[in-house]
Amino acid sequence: MTPKKNLRQQLHHIIFDYDTIPAKAFDLVLIAAILLSVMVVMLDSVAAIHGAYGQALYGVEWFFTVLFTLEYIMRLYASESRKHYFFSFYGIIDLLAIMPTWFSIFVPGTQYLLVIRFFRVLRIFRLLKLVKFVKEAEFVKASIIASGRKIVFFLFFVLVTVSIIGSLMYLIEGEKNGFTSIPKGVYWAIVTITTVGYGDIYPQTVLGRTLAALLMIVGYSVIAVPTGIVSAEMAAMHEKLEAGRNHGESCCQRNARDPEARFCKICGRALE
């Protein structure tokens, strides 16, 4: 093994794994840096802060950009398949997150695109692996996936309802009441069925209000459906987990606990 290969392997371990102290430290420092850099972009977007500390924040921004550029180069260098990383979701985000600052040298104003950096916040999910939240995350993910098809069907239903009622409202209310086009009507219907209700557009005719009231009551009852789906799915998963947990207990003991068993179902021994 050449020393260079060793360096690359070491880097790969630090960057992509999370089971030794340096690997964990890298993840923690990276997440802290991402959160700080995002906070800087956030603060800089506030006019008053930009006015007072704009210069300083610009410096900090360059600091993080150089840091993330180094990180990007390291990742590219250390990854097993560079092509794979380059075209991966995170690879693209990592690149896009540093571009705007570099581009701002040539084209002023591109800095504005720094919000892309917010997508790097997704790396925070790596934290879950550090703090042993994986089981919980897996549970939530698994039950969402298990409910997936049913929820897609439900969203299907919502979208059809929303298109039909949105277009009817355009017909009923018309431009003078803010329903200037069918897409706006559909937007209103989504705002209403999800019970967000901004109040930027709302029906003003009697017929429109009646239809709106109907839509609200439907939306109110219909929210029960995805909740019911996920609840039932999670309850089912709970039972499976519970069953799994008992698995592997010393055989007769477990069977003895079953009030109805007369023979151990594992070893066939008669139970006392």
Is 1 or 243 the residue whose CB approaches a copy of itself more closely?
243
CA 205 from centroid of its chain's CA atoms: 40
Residue 219 interacts with a copy of itself (CB under 8 A): yes or no = yes
Within 45-98, where are the H helices?
47-78, 82-87, 89-96
DSSP code for 105: T
For the segment 12-51, give every residue that binds a copy of itself (CB under 8 A): 38, 41-42, 45-47
Q: How far is the CB of 31 from a copy of itself (least distance, A)?
A: 12
For the segment 240-259, give every residue that binds a copy of itself (CB under 8 A): 242, 246-247, 249-251, 254-255, 258-259
Taking the CA of residue 156 as centre, how many other CA atoms within 13 Å lie in the half-sphere pointing to its CB?
Answer: 7
Rounded to whole angstroms, the Cα distance separating 109 from 105 reads: 9
Is 15 or 193 the residue whose CB approaches a copy of itself more closely?
193
Q: How far is the CB of 64 from a copy of itself (least distance, A)?
A: 16
| Among the listed residues 134, 141, 131, 140, the one whose alpha carbon sits nearest the alpha carbon of residue 31 | 131
Residue 124 interacts with a copy of itself (CB under 8 A): yes or no = yes
What is the contact mask toward a copy of itself in residues 151 to 170, using x (rule: CB under 8 A)?
xxxxxx-x-x--xx--xx-x
Which residues, including other chains, have CB under 8 Å from residue 24's CB and lie 6 or more apart?
18, 130
Rounded to whole angstroms, the Cα distance separating 150 from 147 reads: 5
CA angle (86, 140, 232) in 5-degree steps? 140
For the segment 54-83, give every residue that binds a copy of itself (CB under 8 A): none
Is 87 or 112 the residue whose CB approaches a copy of itself more closely?
112
Rounded to whole angstroms, the Cα distance separating 100 from 244 reads: 50
DSSP code for 118: G
Is 69 or 167 the residue whose CB approaches a copy of itself more closely?
167
Is 14 or 186 the residue whose CB approaches a copy of itself more closely?
186
Task: Using DSSP, state whether 31 is helix, strand or coil.
Answer: helix
Candidate list 7, 36, 115, 207; residue touching a copy of itself; CB under 8 A: 115
Total of residues contacting a copy of itself (CB under 8 A)? 104
For the segment 126-145, give every residue that binds a copy of itself (CB under 8 A): 128, 133, 136-137, 139-140, 143-144
Residue 150 interacts with a copy of itself (CB under 8 A): yes or no = yes
